[in-house]
């Protein structure tokens, strides 16, 4: 008589199951955070700490690239301002120390999807090959081709960001996308060397002159470079973060709190 009942309930349970089924993206060693938890920020910090030991090598499933070292095969820089006019191609850029980042003042708001955090790095070692045609502070030409290595010390960054949440797709999942990110940074100190590799005496002189100028004007040059580095890191971070977020359903990152009348706990 009620032949349709089992079918109806099967459909219902399939629908419910589909809602509950996870994409399996969140690794088992991470406990997702409850959306309205009082200690959401602490929970997010805990998630990071759970992921940190794996971040050095990267987590392909979450599209997290290896952080130790962080590698950029090639990047082009083309900026024009009074303080720095530069056209450069960096290849094999490697940054060591990224995964030692120390977080503080994490503040994430899931209502307006805004957040802020302070980051600190004790030291970052950077090596890269470069092809460059630049003018620093209108007086120092930096021209040629070679390699650079350096150590950046005591880096502090205040980061703010804003995200948007996509509409739910047919599987009931929505995704965060960072739409705005702002880095405000301070570099305590840095040492480094440009080494020309063209064997062209003129280029060697450019590199040595730039090195000497830097050694004698560290603070001024760092203050000039900081906004460029901030901008560079903003676009880098935005790209990597959105690559990660595009694989992680919001519903699985931040789980909804259980309904008001939870079922009784199972007997012990
Ligand atoms: C950076 O290089 C210095 C000197 O070679 C080293 O002592 C330090 O441990 C390195 N730091 C990182 C994060 O690789
Ligand atoms: C989150 O943002 C909303 C909207 O701006 C605001 O009303 C709320 O107080 C914020 N929550 C926290 C915990 O700051
Ligand atoms: C750059 O590398 C050389 C040797 O390869 C090393 O002696 C020097 O300490 C390095 N400089 C920085 C600032 O890391
Ligand atoms: C970060 O913000 C704090 C205050 O919230 C400020 O004291 C500090 O100077 C800022 N740091 C940078 C690098 O802008």
163 beta partners? 178
Complete DSSP assignment for 94-159: EEESGGG-EEEEEEEETTTTEEEEEEEEEEEEEEEEEEEEEEETTTEEEEEEEEEEEEEEEEEEEE
What is the model's pLDDT at position 28?
A: 79
The region of weakest confidence among 25-34, 131-140, 159-168 is: 25-34
CA 238 to ligand 1 centroid distance, Å: 27
* DSSP conformation class of 3: T
Please tell me the pTM assigned to this model: 0.84
pLDDT at 17 over 50: no
Q: To 5 degrees, how large is the angle CA 232–CA 207–CA 125?
A: 45
pLDDT by residue (tens digit) across 172-230?
999 999 999 999 999 999 999 999 999 899 999 999 999 999 999 999 999 999 999 99
Q: To 5 degrees, how large is the angle CA 117–CA 120–CA 121?
A: 145
Ligand nearest to the CA of 99: 1
- The C-alpha atoms of residue 89 and residue 209 are separated, in whole angstroms, by 20
Among candidate residues 98, 221, 240, the one with its CA nearest the CA of residue 161: 240
Specify the ligand 1 atom closest to the Cα of 125.
Answer: 1
Asked whether 132 and 144 are in contact (CB, 8 A), the reply is: yes
Ligand 1 pocket member 75 (CB < 6 A): no
pLDDT by residue (tens digit) across 142-152?
889 999 999 99
Ligand nearest to the CA of 183: 4
CA 237 to ligand 3 centroid distance, Å: 27
């Amino acid at each position: 008589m009620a032949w349709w009942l089992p079918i109806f309930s099967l459909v219902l349970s399939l629908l419910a199951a589909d809602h509950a089924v996870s994409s399996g993206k969140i690794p088992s060693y991470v406990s997702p955070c409850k959306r309205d938890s009082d200690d959401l920020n602490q929970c997010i910090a805990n998630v990071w700490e759970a992921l940190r030991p794996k971040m050095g090598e990267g987590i392909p499933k979450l599209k997290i690239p290896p952080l130790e070292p962080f590698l950029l095969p090639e990047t082009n820089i083309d900026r024009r301002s009074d303080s720095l006019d530069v056209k450069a191609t960096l290849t094999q850029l490697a940054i060591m120390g990224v995964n030692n980042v120390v977080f503080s003042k994490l503040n994430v708001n899931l209502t307006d999807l805004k957040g802020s955090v302070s980051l600190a790095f004790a030291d970052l070692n950077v090596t890269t090959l470069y092809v460059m045609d630049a003018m620093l502070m209108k007086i120092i030409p930096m021209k040629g081709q070679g390699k650079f290595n350096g150590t950046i010390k005591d880096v502090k960054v205040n980061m703010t960001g804003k995200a948007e949440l996509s509409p739910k797709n047919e599987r009931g999942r929505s995704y965060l996308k960072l739409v705005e990110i702002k880095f405000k940074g301070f570099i305590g100190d840095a040492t480094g060397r440009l080494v020309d590799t063209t064997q062209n005496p003129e280029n060697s002189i450019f590199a040595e002159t730039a090195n000497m100028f830097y050694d004698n004007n560290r603070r001024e040059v760092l203050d000039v470079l900081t906004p460029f580095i901030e901008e560079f890191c903003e676009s880098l971070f935005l790209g990597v973060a959105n690559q990660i977020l595009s694989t992680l359903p919001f519903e699985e990152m931040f789980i909804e709190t259980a309904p008001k009348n939870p079922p009784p706990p199972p007997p012990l």
